[in-house]
Amino acid sequence: EDDNENEMLLSGRKVIVTAGGTIERIDPVRYITNDSSGKMGFAIAKVAQEMGAEVHLIAANTSAEPPSGISLERVQSAEDMYAAVLRQWEACDMVVMAAAVADYRPREVAQTKIKKKDNDITLELVKNVDILESLGHSKKHQFLVGFAAETENMETYAIDKLERKNCDLIAANDVTVEGTGFGADDNAVQIYDRGGMVERIPVQSKEEVARKLLTIAAGRMGGVL
């Protein structure tokens, strides 16, 4: 049956999925993070495994329950996530960067708790590595899927990111749609490749979105199994 074939579109494929928001430490008791719940990445990992893939899930800060029965590696910072991805990179066939990677981190991580003083203080931030961009510029056979959260000019910004990061598909979050995005159980995305819009996925469960996104990705992956 058709459904059954669809189920196994990723059999024999090794897939890395990143999820959640990275944690960038300030001191032993304080950090910077973001609102990512990890739900979209977790849904992708679960569905990829259902579609036959061997999945390695790399998760930073999340508020959701991780899918069971999937290889899970917990990380904190963007640097940790980058190192974890690189360890699996050579052997993998696809990377889906659903994580909300912090663009900046504190220049210094204090080894002891920063004490309150009378004066104001300034937190200096330095730029983090762009994991997806780095992978995009060293990829060989790997298929790369990125995400983009946009509030305007969806198509232009999404395709700009896709080109800059040299990824194969980008799923742009339509953050103007209510009940979707950070923390929600549903999502709505527009999928783009270099040529423009590939598919518009209206509001539905993150698992349904994951299934549609992965079906498109599977159909475009190279290599013979």
Residues flagged as binding site for CTP: 103, 113, 147, 161, 165
The phi, psi pair for 9, rounded to 5°, reads -60, -20
Taking the complex as a whole, the smallest distance from the CB of residue 130 to ligand CTP amounts, in Å, to 4
Residue 35 is a binding residue for Ca ion (CB under 5 A): no
Which residues of the chain form contacts with ligand CTP (CB under 6 A)? 78, 97, 99, 101, 103, 128, 130-132, 146-149, 161
Residue 67 CA from chain centroid, whole number: 16
Structure tokens belonging to residue 148: 């983009």
- Site track 77-106 with Ca ion (rule: CB under 5 A), x = hit: --------------------------x---
Helices 39-50/206-220 angle, 10° precision: 50
The secondary structure of residue 27, as a DSSP letter, is E
Give 205's strand partners. 186
Of 31 and 147, the one with the shorter C-beta distance to ligand CTP is: 147
**Pairing of β 125-127 and β 104-106:** antiparallel
Of 10 and 145, the one with the shorter C-beta distance to ligand CTP is: 145
Of 103 and 108, the one with the shorter C-beta distance to Ca ion is: 103
CA 174 – CA 14 distance, rounded (Å) = 29
Q: Which amino acid is at 189?
A: V
Compute CA distances 222 → 38, 119, 142, 157, 198, whole Å.
Answer: 28, 58, 9, 26, 18
Of 47 and 148, the one with the shorter C-beta distance to Ca ion is: 148
Catalytic-residue membership of 34: yes
155 binds, among ligand CTP, Ca ion, none (CB under 5 to 8 A by kind): none
Taking the complex as a whole, the smallest distance from the CB of residue 28 to Ca ion amounts, in Å, to 26
Catalytic residue among 4, 6, 34, 173: 34
Taking the complex as a whole, the smallest distance from the CB of residue 97 to ligand CTP amounts, in Å, to 4
Which residues form the interface with Ca ion (CB under 5 A)? 103
Active site residues: 34
